[in-house]
Amino acid sequence: MPKIAIITDDPGWHGKQLSLAFAARGYQAVYCSLTECSLHVCGPGTPIRMPGFETALPDAVFVRGVPGGSLEEVVFYLDVLHGLKTLGIPVYNDARAIELSVDKGMTSFRLQHAGLPTAPTWVLRDREAALRTARQQLDAGHYLISKPLFGSQGEGIRRIEKSTDLMWLTSSNGIYYLQRFVVCKGQGFSDIRVFVINGRAVAAMRRRGISWLNNVARGASCEAMALDDELAVLAVRATAALQMDYAGVDIIQDAQGRYVLIEVNSVPAWKGLQSVCSVEIAAALVNDLLDRYIGPPC
């Protein structure tokens, strides 16, 4: 039976959903942590070792999680994913897409460069420059958001509302990522998550946060939402700008009704979205990976 590696340290609900979808297509999925992989650059034999794939490397790799760690550890994990692709093994999303999107500074840069609407953002090394920028924004009447460069699920995100908040402005390992706060349209707080697969927006939901932080992991509730063309095109273009096979795109509709891109996730969760949409997301992902990179079922 052909084998797929699902790269994860914590398979959980998503791992199970993917395994079932792969099984439905006749593939065995094996969970594999990047922490247990290694490179062997020494003569004959496979140059990448992965637990569960001792006799043959996988037919394809589905990346569900890249662990954090030191710069060396993260570079090594990406080396393994780059290496697998170099060996001709499909990696979904590949290391390049993950590199571009795991770094919020590069995500913002690429979105802006592609001519897509995103919130004004500054990525700075110098604390004085960060403080100056923040003061200018506050003076101009804007709140600011400070985010860790490598973050997810709303972790470490702060809102700066007044000059006294600047006292605790901290960098994330030496880098300040500051973004103008986008005031959302309507009552309360909400943003939009659009799921894109192979250049098509397949589902969307509105996330309503208990505060301005609208991550499901922070208690936001999920509501079904119909996709309009503008939203779909924007999410698809953002996904293309980050070179991803599939993505979870975060968008805020601002007080004037304009859509503003916030983030493009290359390893998005879809449990919340699945609870409010009819598209079977795991099956759609698995079918896209197999059909485009391995070939349709015989």
Contacts with ligand ADP by CB under 6 A lie at 119, 145, 147, 151-155, 157, 179, 181-182, 191, 209, 212-215, 250, 252, 262-263
| Interface stretch with Mg ion, choices 88-96, 161-169, 184-192, 259-267 (CB under 5 A) | 259-267
Partner in contact with 179, chosen from ligand ADP, Mg ion, none, beta carbon below 5 to 8 Å by kind = ligand ADP
Q: Compare residues 63 and 252 and give the one whose CB is closer to Mg ion.
A: 252
How many Cβ atoms sit within 10 Å of the Cβ of residue 181?
Answer: 16
CA dist 155 and 138 (Å) reads 23
CA dist 246 → 164, 169, 204 (Å):
41, 34, 14
Partner in contact with 84, chosen from Mg ion, ligand ADP, none, beta carbon below 5 to 8 Å by kind = none
Partner in contact with 123, chosen from ligand ADP, Mg ion, none, beta carbon below 5 to 8 Å by kind = none
CA dist 146 and 63 (Å) reads 28
Q: Is 250 in the site for Mg ion (CB under 5 A)?
A: yes
Partner in contact with 76, chosen from ligand ADP, Mg ion, none, beta carbon below 5 to 8 Å by kind = none
| Interface stretch with Mg ion, choices 41-49, 59-67, 176-184, 256-264 (CB under 5 A) | 256-264
CA neighbor of 287 nearest in space, from 277, 278, 297: 297
CA neighbor of 192 nearest in space, from 173, 159, 170, 214: 214
- Binding residues with Mg ion: total (CB under 5 A): 2
| Interface stretch with Mg ion, choices 133-141, 226-234, 237-245, 248-256 (CB under 5 A) | 248-256
Minimum distance from residue 119 beta carbon to ligand ADP (Å): 4
Q: Compare residues 119 and 247 and give the one whose CB is closer to ligand ADP.
A: 119
CA dist 59 → 66, 224, 227, 244, 289 (Å):
19, 35, 34, 19, 11
Q: Compare residues 53 and 177 and give the one whose CB is closer to ligand ADP.
A: 177
Minimum distance from residue 293 beta carbon to ligand ADP (Å): 27
Q: Is 263 in the site for Mg ion (CB under 5 A)?
A: yes
Minimum distance from residue 184 beta carbon to ligand ADP (Å): 7
Q: Is 191 in the site for Mg ion (CB under 5 A)?
A: no
Q: Compare residues 61 and 252 and give the one whose CB is closer to Mg ion.
A: 252
Q: Compare residues 15 and 248 and give the one whose CB is closer to Mg ion.
A: 248
Q: Compare residues 245 and 250 and give the one whose CB is closer to Mg ion.
A: 250
CA dist 93 and 60 (Å) reads 11
CA dist 45 → 39, 56, 80 (Å):
11, 10, 16
Minimum distance from residue 153 beta carbon to Mg ion (Å): 7
CA neighbor of 193 nearest in space, from 234, 231, 238, 248: 248
Q: Compare residues 94 and 250 and give the one whose CB is closer to Mg ion.
A: 250
CA dist 133 and 29 (Å) reads 48
The DSSP H or E segment spanning 135 is: helix 127-139
